[in-house]
């Protein structure tokens, strides 16, 4: 069953509080938290700061920056009190996730300046897992979170990181806290929320590895679809995205996007790239639209926007598409989006779109 992440936030916080609750009588202020410069006490407060900050962003629908507030524990608050605050702020984030509509996005800087409710859930879980690890390392406690929590984080905000031996070791490696055989140490990192591209009537929402796996397995990927969707082509495309992720070859912005109609929040189809741009700056695009959404110009509108986005990237010179010779509607979409036919074979027609004036 698809999850928005509220339960994962609650589980991560519960595991954190249960572990650290066994050592509240120890000195947290005088002990460094793992590899961090902070003390264990400062790191615990930071967990709560992040949880309430994410709750505020999502609940307040902040669009331009972080909400200008801070969290300060009362003078004299002990370690057990800090854990109480972590529990409370975790509950607030879970509530914000549960009550936020699916289409809501709020400001977060990495990397596309916004995140949806699943993104904030994954970021919250990541902060809890990683900083509980840091504190546990400083206090010499054994800690290994539930594997499904680590996988939840990896498949939503680390789409560029291929799976490793286990989700926990992979997450530690991806954040500079551990090693993985065959992979160079990580010295700088950022997570990656999914990209969105807006048009007049649509939002093209980047598909995470988690959503791709669900779509490929005949789920809905967390999207409310119109009748007839998702189409077989969408499921095949999602399977390719998930395969690229499993092989460590997935770059999220060059993956698949679900076309969501703004008027009612319904998913109409999918559009995306077959892979990253090649050495000559060519990238191939494909698309699939549910039958009930055809004939309204949605595919043309989305293709124009996605092609414009791609051609705005320095590594792209040409967007290409191949369509079956008998698929006249798809050929018309390409023509309306400005593509020109450049080649053909007995089964397919090849189209290209370049920047105006680009020979």
Report pLDDT digits (tens) over 290-344: 999 999 999 999 999 999 999 999 999 999 999 999 999 999 999 999 999 999 9
Q: In the listed set 110, 141, 174, which residue is the last one of a domain according to the structure?
A: 174
Residue 190 lies in a domain: no
Query: CB neighbours of 50 closer than 8 A, spacing ≥ 6?
Result: 123, 124, 127
Domain holding 149, by residue range, is 6-174
Same-domain status, 157 and 293 = no
Boundary-marking domain end, from 127, 143, 174 = 174
The CATH number of the domain holding residue 99 is 1.20.120.450
Q: Is residue 180 part of a domain?
A: no
CA distance 201 to 83: 45
pLDDT of the residue at 222: 97
Residues 343 and 226 reside in one and the same domain: yes
Distance CA 103, CA 114 (A): 12
> In terms of domains, do 169 and 206 share one?
no
What CATH number corresponds to the domain at position 250?
A: 3.40.630.30
What residues of the chain score a pLDDT lower than 70? Answer: 357-359
Q: Is-cis flag, bond preceding 230, omega within 30? A: yes
Are residues 312 and 214 part of one domain? yes
* pTM exceeds 0.85, yes or no: yes
Task: Answer yes or no: is 97 within a domain.
Answer: yes
**pLDDT score at 48:** 98
Cβ(121)–Cβ(129) below 8 Å: no
Clarify whether residues 168 and 203 are in a common domain: no
Q: Residues 162, 203: one domain?
A: no
21-55 burial, b if ≥16 CB within 10 A, otherwise e?
eebeeeebeebbbbebebbbbbbbbbbbbbbbbbb
Predicted pLDDT at 262: 97
Domain membership flag for residue 266: yes
Q: What is the pLDDT of residues 8-34, one digit of tens each?
A: 999 999 999 999 999 999 999 999 999
Residue 164 lies inside a defined structural domain of this protein: yes
Question: Which is nearest to 136 in space by CA: 37, 50, 20?
Answer: 20
Q: pLDDT, tens digit, for every residue of 202-215?
A: 999 999 999 999 99
**14/141 same-domain check:** yes
Of 141, 174, 207, which one is at a domain's C-terminal end? Answer: 174
Q: What is the pLDDT of residue 215?
A: 98
| Beta-sheet pairing, 282-289 with 105-106 | unpaired
| pLDDT for residue 356 | 73
């Amino acid at each position: 069953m698809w999850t928005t992440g509220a339960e994962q936030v609650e589980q991560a916080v519960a595991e954190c509080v249960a572990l650290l609750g066994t050592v509240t009588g120890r000195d947290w202020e005088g002990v460094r938290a793992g590899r961090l410069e902070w003390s264990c006490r400062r790191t615990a407060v930071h967990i709560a700061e992040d949880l309430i900050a994410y709750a505020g962003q999502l609940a307040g629908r902040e669009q331009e920056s972080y909400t200008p507030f801070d969290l300060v524990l009362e003078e004299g608050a002990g370690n057990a009190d800090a854990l109480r605050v972590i529990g409370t702020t975790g509950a607030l984030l879970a509530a914000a996730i549960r009550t936020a509509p699916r289409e809501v996005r709020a400001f977060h800087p990495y990397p596309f300046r916004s995140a949806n409710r699943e993104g904030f859930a994954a970021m919250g879980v990541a902060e809890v897992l990683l900083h509980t690890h840091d504190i546990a390392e400083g206090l010499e406690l054994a800690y290994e979170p539930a594997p499904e929590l680590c996988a939840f984080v990896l498949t939503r905000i680390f789409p560029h990181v291929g799976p490793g031996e286990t989700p926990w070791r992979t997450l530690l490696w991806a954040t500079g806290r551990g090693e993985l055989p065959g992979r160079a140490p990580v010295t700088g990192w950022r997570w990656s929320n999914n990209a969105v591209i807006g048009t007049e009537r649509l939002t093209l929402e980047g598909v995470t590895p988690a959503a791709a796996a669900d779509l490929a397995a005949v789920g809905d990927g967390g999207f409310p679809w119109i009748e007839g969707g998702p189409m077989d082509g969408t499921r095949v495309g999602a399977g390719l995205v998930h395969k690229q992720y499993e092989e460590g070859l997935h770059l999220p912005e060059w993956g698949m996007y679900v076309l969501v109609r703004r008027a009612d929040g319904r998913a109409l189809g999918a559009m995306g790239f077959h892979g990253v741009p090649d050495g000559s700056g060519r990238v191939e695009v494909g698309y699939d639209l549910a039958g009930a959404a055809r004939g309204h110009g949605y595919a043309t509108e989305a293709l124009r926007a996605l092609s414009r986005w791609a051609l705005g990237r320095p590594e792209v010179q040409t967007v290409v598409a191949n369509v079956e010779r008998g698929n006249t509607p798809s050929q018309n979409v390409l023509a309306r989006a400005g593509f020109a036919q450049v080649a053909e074979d007995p089964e397919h027609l090849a189209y290209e779109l370049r920047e105006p004036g680009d020979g």
